[in-house]
Amino acid sequence: MALEAKPQSNLVPNPSFEAYISCPFTISMIANAAPWNNATLGSPDYFHSCDTSAFTGVPVNFRGHQAARTGSGYAGVYAYIAGGPPYREYIQTPLLAALEKDRKYDVEFYVSLADTVQFAVKTLGLCFSIDSSSEAIPYVSSLIPQINYGGSGHLAWRDGWEKISGVYTASGGERFIIIGNFRSDSASDPVLTDSTAAYPSSYYYIDDVSVSCHDCSELPNVFTPNGDGRNDFIDFSDHTLAEQIVTIYNRWGTMVFESSQSNTRWDGKDLKGNDCSDGVYYYVFHYSDFINTDFNDLNKKGFIQLIR
């Protein structure tokens, strides 16, 4: 059985809210950025520059003025409303693959406080879940987020994007992520940062959500292509990607192998079909997602040890 050298891409589909079923034109349309949807009866919003009305557009919309962190779209959720019963909104999506038990994942997303709200909070988070959330509530979710904002101050930046990130060790089988403010009003510690803003509430834009394997490219990619049927190749195949190019170099930096097939398995032979010698090789894996075909080129790099 081959050891996996499979580089992991972002497991979050539509991670930058660029792809839409149809252009948003009013509030509560997060489901247009499928497969994102709402996790409770709260109704998250979706903004994209395809809406030129300035209501759910980018950069101008009913919540203020904000350029997307990348691309042309982002999501938005209420994190707090002053003076009433607690109100929250949460976005959720299935992942492209379930998380693997005991494996570590790098998690990050970006938030920006909307211009039209008075309050900032410091308790946005991300929850991994085996099941999708369908809590029939418009207020604080009962879920407990594993990734939380770790800063000491409030998430009060209105002009740019603040990163919330962490490393998560999977229990195994988590297939969904849910993002929002999972804390009570008092625990959210709302602070008035602009008393002249229109609304006594706190509302955040969300962009660029990423969950990617933390330790995959550090795995010891040892393989023994001696034809005994055991561990005879390194498997780069990944059908969740749109495009991929694997290039393998020897220790002197000379390219020995290259393939753009989606089912590439390197068997330790060079492009002429000759056996490569024992030693350490270096791979570069360029790829692009199906959903973000306009995303910048992504790549993973690492070492492979060939033993005959």
Residues 238-257 that bind Ca ion (CB under 5 A): none
Residue number with the shortest CB distance to Ca ion? 16
**Binding of residue 289 to Ca ion (CB under 5 A):** no
Residues 40-99 that bind Ca ion (CB under 5 A): 68, 70-71, 73-74
Binding mask 16-35 for Ca ion (x = CB under 5 A): xx------------------
Which stretch, 11-19, 56-64, 114-122, 281-289, contacts Ca ion (CB under 5 A)?
Answer: 11-19
**Binding of residue 112 to Ca ion (CB under 5 A):** no
Q: How far is the CB of 15 from Ca ion (least distance, A)?
A: 8
**Binding of residue 11 to Ca ion (CB under 5 A):** no
Helix, strand or coil for residue 217?
A: helix
Q: How far is the CB of 151 from Ca ion (least distance, A)?
A: 22
Nearer to Ca ion, 68 or 276 (CB): 68
Query: Encoding tokens for residue 215?
Result: 């330790």
Return all residues near 46 (Cβ < 8 A) that are at least 6 apart.
17, 20, 24, 29, 30, 31, 32, 33, 36, 56, 73, 75, 76
At 32, give phi and psi (nearest 5°).
Answer: -65, -20
**Binding of residue 291 to Ca ion (CB under 5 A):** no
Nearer to Ca ion, 50 or 191 (CB): 50
Q: How far is the CB of 76 from Ca ion (least distance, A)?
A: 12
Site size toward Ca ion (CB under 5 A) is 8
The burial of 18, by beta-carbon neighbours within 10 Å (0-12 exposed, 13-18 middle, 19 or more buried), is given as buried
Q: How far is the CB of 124 from Ca ion (least distance, A)?
A: 17
Q: Which amino acid is at 301?
A: K
Return all residues near 37 (Cβ < 8 A) that are at least 6 apart.
30, 31, 91, 92, 93
Nearer to Ca ion, 74 or 236 (CB): 74
Query: Encoding tokens for residue 268?
Result: 């330790």
Binding mask 207-226 for Ca ion (x = CB under 5 A): x-------------------
Which stretch, 127-135, 174-182, 201-209, 293-301, contacts Ca ion (CB under 5 A)?
Answer: 201-209
Q: How far is the CB of 135 from Ca ion (least distance, A)?
A: 26
Return all residues near 54 (Cβ < 8 A) that are at least 6 apart.
60, 61, 62
Query: Encoding tokens for residue 130?
Result: 């085996």
Handedness of CA 64, 41, 75, 28 (dihedral sign): negative
* Edge-to-edge order in the sheet of strand 91-94: 37-38, 91-94, 176-181, 124-129, 147-148
Q: Which residues bind Ca ion (CB under 5 A)?
A: 16-17, 68, 70-71, 73-74, 207
